[in-house]
Amino acid sequence: MAATPRPLIAGNWKMNGLKSAGLREVKKLATRMDKVSKPGCDVLICPPATLLAPLRDAVKGSGIAIGGQDCHGNAAGAHTGDIAAAMLKDIGCGYVIVGHSERRADYGENDRMVRAKAVAAHGAGLRAIICVGETAAERKNGETLKIIGKQLTDSLPKNSTAKNTIIAYEPVWAIGTGLTPTVDDVKEVHAYLRSRLRRRLKADGVAMRLLYGGSVKGSNAAELMAVDNVNGALVGGASLTAADFWPIVETCL
């Protein structure tokens, strides 16, 4: 029987955090991690690009990883304001989020572009965290599985493995709203993702980590992390302070 994927608790700081506060919070986190002799999960912070280098230095030796929030689909070139996957790798990142619903909505990123970003991430030696999720209207219309299935098929590169790819199920309506799907709804979507991944990638599909994201906080994390096929969380608002993030990390330690 395949081993259960090792959980990952990932914080996405989005466009939040100046140097002093960011360093203060990540140092508190690192101090807590240092006291855990054998963590049962991986911990990741994806700060704004301006904080990647200082946070990398601040978490050194703690086991906390640093990741990007996005990368370009091309390896380099005339793309003002963008970041290449190789630049993230170069500065010490191990992961990059691609296809977050805020990027899909704000910049019109579609599945083809998300796949190109994931390919670029893999090419640079980064793990791609590919986000999928339905809108409130799509859920109301009973289209959740159809939408997620299509996003997964079209966003996932051919060479995806359990090592280089993580899938995050993030219902758009649950992000930053305080709303979460029921445990049964999360279970249904994650079982569906798992079955599609198993069919497409065989053993890698069984071993690939599936994160849940959308209003995860200390008070609901244990219940959500206990759902079948949930192998960790992608956390926005509650990842900004160590006080809020640590209780979520603790559910998987």
Residues forming the active site:
100, 170
Helix, strand, or coil (residue 86): helix
H-run or E-run covering 244: helix 242-250
120 or 172: whose CB is closer to ligand PEP? 172
181 binds ligand PEP (CB under 6 A): no
175 binds ligand PEP (CB under 6 A): yes
* Degrees to nearest 5, angle at CA 168 with 143 and 121: 120
Helix, strand, or coil (residue 42): strand
Three-class HEC string of 134-185: CCHHHHHCCCHHHHHHHHHHHHCCCCCCCCCEEEEECCHHHCCCCCCCCHHH
In the set 144, 164, 215, 231, which binds ligand PEP (CB under 6 A)? 215
109 or 170: whose CB is closer to ligand PEP? 170
30 binds ligand PEP (CB under 6 A): no
219 binds ligand PEP (CB under 6 A): no
Residue of 166, 155, 99, 88 whose CA lies nearest to 127: 166
Min CB(234)–ligand PEP separation in Å: 5
86 or 249: whose CB is closer to ligand PEP? 249
Please give the residue whose beta carbon sits closest to ligand PEP in the complex. 236
Question: For the packed helices 144-155 and 183-201, what is the interaxial angle rounded to 10 degrees?
Answer: 40
Min CB(75)–ligand PEP separation in Å: 26
179 binds ligand PEP (CB under 6 A): no
In the set 166, 170, 224, 232, which binds ligand PEP (CB under 6 A)? 170
Question: For the packed helices 144-155 and 111-123, what is the interaxial angle rounded to 10 degrees?
Answer: 40
214 binds ligand PEP (CB under 6 A): yes
Min CB(52)–ligand PEP separation in Å: 18
- Residues binding ligand PEP (CB under 6 A): 12, 170, 175-176, 213-216, 234-238
